[in-house]
């Protein structure tokens, strides 16, 4: 099982390296945030469809292209579109890009997402620094034989999001005058949005935001020793907080509206890494 998967990882990494080279920092762009690839200089890219064995993005707003280039003189790759468990991919496929990044030399991962606000002090358009996560999906991407080449069987998860990178992001947000909330992100499987009762449950458990991604990527990145920074864009208030229905269009629209400050923040963080 591991041998075939490992071969798949190396084949995909080789194809990406041939097209786009290696990288030190990776950014995964969530719903509505994909335009950030425009920030890259000396850009190269490859479609996921042209990477052997790579899954393809099926979620609207996830283009399915791997970009690489430089930003502040650093080698950065960006994923315009990610994979989610709700698309039907198994957890090894969902997190395959993280292990491919590791093979390409990535040491720092910046994960972004669109999320519903569970904390009633938040408003749509807020950015939230992820301080920790709650895994309510019932899944774990490390299930199955351990990949000893990448990390240990029982990895520590006491600091999923790097305190050093969080401090860099907080200082950058203050300098830029960007409001940055700090909170706990709860991973729900989706694809339906949560029920109001589920949102009340997540709030009781300590969640500030809820979404359908990012946690599997964080777990696998920590397993293989990367430093992780997580930033959520609160695109809507979670179910039951306001008397209105949730829609993916709203998620993408608000995500797109926050691009400017989101880009400024990530840019400032990458400059400091
Ligand atoms: N719930 C789950 N995922 C989401 C939400 C939400 O309210 N908004 C954006 N992604």
In whole angstroms, give the CA distance from residue 249 to residue 253: 6
Residue 242: pLDDT band (50, 70, 90) is very high
List pLDDT tens digits, range 221-230. 999 999 999 9
Centre of ligand 1 from the C-alpha of residue 18, in Å: 36
The arithmetic mean of pLDDT across residues 132-148, rounded, is 97
The arithmetic mean of pLDDT across residues 44-65, rounded, is 87
pLDDT of residue 252: 86
pTM: 0.96
Domain 2-272 is classified in which CATH homologous superfamily?
Nucleoside phosphorylase domain (3.40.50.1580)
Q: Return the percentage of the chain with pLDDT > 70, whole number.
A: 99
Residue 213 annotated in active site: yes
pLDDT of residue 62: 67
Does the structure show a pLDDT above 70 at 61? no
Answer for the pair 202, 116: CB distance below 8 angstroms, yes or no.
no
Does the structure show a pLDDT above 70 at 162? yes
State the CB neighbour count (10 A cutoff) for residue 232: 28
Answer for the pair 78, 62: CB distance below 8 angstroms, yes or no.
no
Lowest mean pLDDT among 25-29, 79-83, 137-141, 250-254: 250-254
pLDDT of residue 30: 86
Lowest mean pLDDT among 67-76, 119-128, 253-262: 253-262
Cα dist. 212→107, 159, 164, 255, 256 in Å?
24, 21, 26, 15, 18
**Which of 126, 238, 244, 257 has most ligand 1 atoms within 8 Å of its beta carbon, as the pocket-test mutant?**
238
Does the structure show a pLDDT above 80 at 31? no
Residue 84 annotated in active site: yes
Non-local (6+) Cβ contacts of 7 within 8 A are: none
Q: Which of ligand 1's atoms lies nearest the C-alpha of 116?
A: 7
Does the structure show a pLDDT above 90 at 57? no
Does the structure show a pLDDT above 90 at 60? no
List pLDDT tens digits, range 188-200. 999 999 999 999 9
pLDDT of residue 107: 98
pLDDT of residue 102: 98
The active-site residue, picked from 26, 68, 114, 209, is 114
Q: Return the percentage of the chain with pLDDT > 90, whole number.
A: 86
In whole angstroms, give the CA distance from residue 183 to residue 119: 9
- Which residues, judged by CB distance below 6 Å to any ligand atom, belong to the binding site of ligand 1? 114-116, 188, 193-194, 210-212, 235-236, 238, 246, 251
Q: SS3 letters for the chain?
A: CHHHHHHHHHHHHHHHHHHHCCCCEEEEECCCCHHHHHHCEEEEEEEHHHCCCCCCCCCCCCCCEEEEEEECCEEEEEEECCCCHHHCCCHHHHCHHHHHHHHCCCCEEEEEEEEEECCCCCCCCCEEEEEEEEECCCCCCCCCCCCCCCCCCCCCCCCCCCHHHHHHHHHHHHHHCCCEEEEEEEECCCCCCCCHHHHHHHHHCCCCEEECCCHHHHHHHHHCCCEEEEEEEEEEECCCCCCCCCCHHHHHHHHHHCHHHHHHHHHHHHHHC
Calculate the average pLDDT of the chain: 95
The arithmetic mean of pLDDT across residues 4-18, rounded, is 96
């Amino acid at each position: 099982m591991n041998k075939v998967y490992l071969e798949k990882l190396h084949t995909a990494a080789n194809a990406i390296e041939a097209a786009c080279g290696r990288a030190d920092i990776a950014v995964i762009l969530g719903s509505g945030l994909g335009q950030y690839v425009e920030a890259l200089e000396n850009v190269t890219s490859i479609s996921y469809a042209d990477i052997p064995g790579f899954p393809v993005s099926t979620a609207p707003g996830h283009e399915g292209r791997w970009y690489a280039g430089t930003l502040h003189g650093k080698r950065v790759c960006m994923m315009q579109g990610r994979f989610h468990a709700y698309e039907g991919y198994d957890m090894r496929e969902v997190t395959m890009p993280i292990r491919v990044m590791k093979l390409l030399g990535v040491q720092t991962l910046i994960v972004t997402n669109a999320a519903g606000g569970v904390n009633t002090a938040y408003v749509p358009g807020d950015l939230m620094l992820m301080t920790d996560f709650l895994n309510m999906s019932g899944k774990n991407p490390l299930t199955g034989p351990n990949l000893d080449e990448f990390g240990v069987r029982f990895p520590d998860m006491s600091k999923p999001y790097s305190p050093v990178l969080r401090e860099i992001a907080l200082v950058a947000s203050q300098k830029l005058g960007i409001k940055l909330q700090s909170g706990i992100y709860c991973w729900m499987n989706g694809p339906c949005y949560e029920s109001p009762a589920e949102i009340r449950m997540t709030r009781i458990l300590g969640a500030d935001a809820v979404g359908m991604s990012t946690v599997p990527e964080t777990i696998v990145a920590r397993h293989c020793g990367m430093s992780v920074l997580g930033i959520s864009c609160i695109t809507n208030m979670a179910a039951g907080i306001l008397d209105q229905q949730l829609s993916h269009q709203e998620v993408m629209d608000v995500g797109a509206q926050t691009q400017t400050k989101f880009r400024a923040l990530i840019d400032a963080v990458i400059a400091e890494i």
